[in-house]
Amino acid sequence: MKKLLSLLLSVLTVMSCMTFLAVGAAAEDGAEEDSEKVTYDLGTLTVVKLNGLWTEPSTNALAVFTPGQSMNGKYWTKLYARLDKATGDYVVEEKIGCHRDYPKVVENDCIGIMMNYAPLSTVGQSMAIANWKIIDRIKVGDRLTLSGIDVTFRSIKVSGTFGQADFKSEATIKVTAVRDKNPTKTAYTDKTIVAMGDSVTVGGGWTFDLGDAIGADIINSGFGGDTADASLAARYNTYVAAYNPDVVIVSFGINDAGSSYAYSDLEGAMDKYEKALRDIYARNLAIGARTVFQTPNNVKIQFWEERAPKGTYDEYGGFQGYLDTFIERMRVVARDTGSPLIDLYTAWKDAGYGGWDGVNMLDNSHPNEVGYDLNLSVMIPMWKENPELMLGEFDVAGDINVDGKCNSIDAVYALQCDAGFATAADRFLARADMNGDGVTDNLDAAAILKVDAGL
């Protein structure tokens, strides 16, 4: 019996060693999934062009570039991926936002992917929107599985005319997200953050750079050429409210100030801008979202001044003076509503960026890589050092606008909500129910004013 037990133990020991060796070998071959990572499907991209960009800027197509091809495109978001020969997938090595030089020639066993940042184009719109939502979420390390794309012979399976009813593409890229199984959590990790803005927002790449820095996935709802009032009217419900955000970043001003309607009524253009910002704040309050205002970068003043009829901005000392006055309206709204303000415009002015010659700009309106680096150097510390402020998570009775204070601003909101002139989400209104009767009314407003007065 002892000999039998001894033999059995010997066999089990050998089997244990064999199992260990087998697992070790599989891990080396890349066949064993990394225990520190989790994977999930991000979606499938539809490719419509190979080794070239569409000449029409309104044609928003996703293009793939094969070895030997140059993929520099300043107004395109770019991905660079390398072949994993063990699996046949491509692994994303770089993600580069628009408005940056990227003189990359695709190496052997690599591909490049480029997409214009205007997903609401008139040509191929539904396909472009679907592609953009995936591109926006791709991170370095994600895996790409190609189908209907022959990299060696440089061909893709498409038929018909792009943008027409007969067009069909069987050239696709399945995207598999590869993420840390236990990522470091921050105050923002489980929050939904949406960014509203113009082309600097939608194309600049700062949303994914900032998101990586603060441990959040920021939903990019920017739109090239947008203004505050146009975004509110045409895109707020679909691209902001639909996500049920906890925080909305609001960054407008360049197109608002430079739009043609401003030439005949400069003061009226500023009033329109301020009203739109206040209306966006009110809409955010109504859906339970914290508003974070973010001023735009400075611009190339010469272009914007000479674009308008001569003498248009004389009373402000030129377009720079007008833009200074214009952007001040956002600071006023942030102050009046108790909202956080990230002041990129002041940082640009202090650094001497933009201005008459457009220092550290790609063109007349967009920063280059140096300009975006400056923006991030202002954004990231603000978010990292002030999570309670940015999220509005203060525990202060009477504080409807979640700025950490109980004052007359909250009393005014309480009265407006009581009269039906304003709406606030329950999570905000509950703070103002000072007497605990389940409603927010003039009695609560009076109680808030007493607290503000120290009575």
In angstroms and rounded to an integer, the radius of gyration of the C-alpha atoms of the chain is 27
CA distance linking residue 94 with residue 26, whole number of Å:
28
The answer on 67 and 143 residing in a single domain is yes
In which element (H, E) is residue 370 found? helix 369-385
What does pTM read for this prediction?
A: 0.85
Indicate if 214 and 334 belong to the same structural domain.
Answer: yes
Q: How many CB atoms lie within 10 A of CB 376?
A: 17
- Considering the domain architecture, whether residues 325 and 427 belong to the same structural domain is answered as no
Instruction: Specify whether 255 is located in the same domain as 289.
Output: yes
Domain count, the chain: 3
For residue 232, what is the DSSP state? H
Last residue in a domain, options 180, 215, 240: 180
pLDDT tens-digit series, residues 140-188: 999 999 999 999 989 899 888 877 778 888 999 999 999 988 888 999 9
Residue 91 lies in a domain: yes
Asked if 232 and 267 sit in the same domain, the reply is yes
The pLDDT tens digits of the residues spanning 27-77 come to 333 333 567 899 999 999 999 888 876 655 455 678 899 999 998 778 888
Least confident of 8-22, 81-95, 323-337: 8-22
Say if 340 falls within a structural domain. yes
Residues 45 and 111 in one domain: yes
Residue whose entry in the numeric block shows the structure tokens 């002892």: 2
In this structure, are 160 and 222 located in the same domain?
A: no
Domain end position, chosen among 140, 156, 180? 180
Secondary structure string (H, E, C) spanning 144-168: EEEECEECCCCEECEECCCCCCCCE
In a domain, 308, yes or no: yes
- In this structure, the answer to whether residues 232 and 361 fall within a common structural domain is yes
Same domain as 365, residue 247 = yes
Q: How far is CA 361 from the centre of its chain?
A: 20
Q: What's the full length of the chain, in residues? A: 455
CA 259/CA 392 separation, integer angstroms: 33
* 153 and 216 both lie in a single domain: no
Give the SS3 label for residue 244: coil
Nearest alpha-carbon partner for 60 in 242, 240, 223: 223
Asked if residue 236 belongs to a domain, the reply is yes
Q: Verify that 120 and 88 share a domain, yes or no.
A: yes
The CA-CA-CA angle for residues 269, 193, 121, to 5°, reads 60
pLDDT at 14: 36
Does 246 map to a domain? yes
44 and 115 part of one domain: yes
**Are 408 and 416 in contact, with CB atoms under 8 Å apart?**
no
Residue 33: the pLDDT is 52
For residue 412, give its domain range.
408-453
pLDDT of residue 4: 38
- pLDDT confidence of residue 56: 56
